[in-house]
Amino acid sequence: MTDLMDRWPMNPAFVYDDTQEILATNALGRALHSPFKLADNFARMVFLDPAGTRFFVEWERVAIDTVGSLRQAWGKGTSRHRVETVVAELRASADFEKMWETHAITGKSYQRKSIDHPAVGRLTLDYLTFAIPDAHDHHLLVCDAPAGSPSERLLELLGSLTVPPAPHEVADESATERP
């Protein structure tokens, strides 16, 4: 899947599971999330990383949607135990705790988000989420900017910045090198 996502140089792309754990990311996705200390779980990024409140212009709406998505996954018997583990960690955030107790459920398929990236400035991106049918409880998130928009130009600029691959990606590449 990472090979396919890497062919999308103008679209940050992520594969994640019901716990919001990021399982794969393309280069532009890594660049987009470079302000975060650890870009491994969308919910932890929103609630536990100080960059979250600066990164998402409409942080409260993003936070409510993130909690609602976790609450929806919690309702699935196949995901509940894993979601409970993440929820226990997120309860360190008073904001998360308050939002979790509302019991609101949110499905994700399309959202428009404005982000404030310290390297390139404000971008408005369409977040499109797709279920991956053959991968149980996995989702593909693709971010897009309208053609010709200032956000598209900023994504191009962001793509030109160097973001090193995650350590597991370096290990994976060396395992597939041919002599």
CATH number at residue 54: 3.30.450.180
Give 100-139 pLDDT, tens digit per residue: 999 999 887 899 999 999 999 999 999 999 999 888 899 9
d(CA 157, CA 31): 10
User: Do the beta carbons of residue 22 and residue 30 sit within 8 Å?
Assistant: no
Q: Is there a domain that residue 174 lies in?
A: no
Q: Which residues pair with 20 in a beta bridge?
A: none
Cα 151 to its chain centre, rounded Å, is: 18
Q: Is there a domain that residue 62 lies in?
A: yes
pTM here is 0.87
Domain that holds residue 105: 2-161
Phi/psi for 143 (5° steps) reads -100, 145
Q: Is there a domain that residue 59 lies in?
A: yes
d(CA 164, CA 170): 9
The pair of three-digit structure tokens given for residue 127, joined into one six-digit string? 């977040």
Q: Is there a domain that residue 177 lies in?
A: no
Q: Is there a domain that residue 106 lies in?
A: yes
Number of domains the chain is built from: 1
Q: Is there a domain that residue 114 lies in?
A: yes
Structure confidence at residue 166 (pLDDT): 56
User: Do the beta carbons of residue 115 and residue 56 sit within 8 Å?
Assistant: yes
Count how many residues are written for the chain: 179
Q: How confident is the model at residue 53 (pLDDT cuts 50, 70, 90)?
A: very high
Question: What interhelical angle do 80-90 and 59-74 show, nearest 10?
Answer: 140
d(CA 117, CA 33): 8
Give 13-37 pLDDT, tens digit per residue: 999 999 999 999 999 999 999 999 9
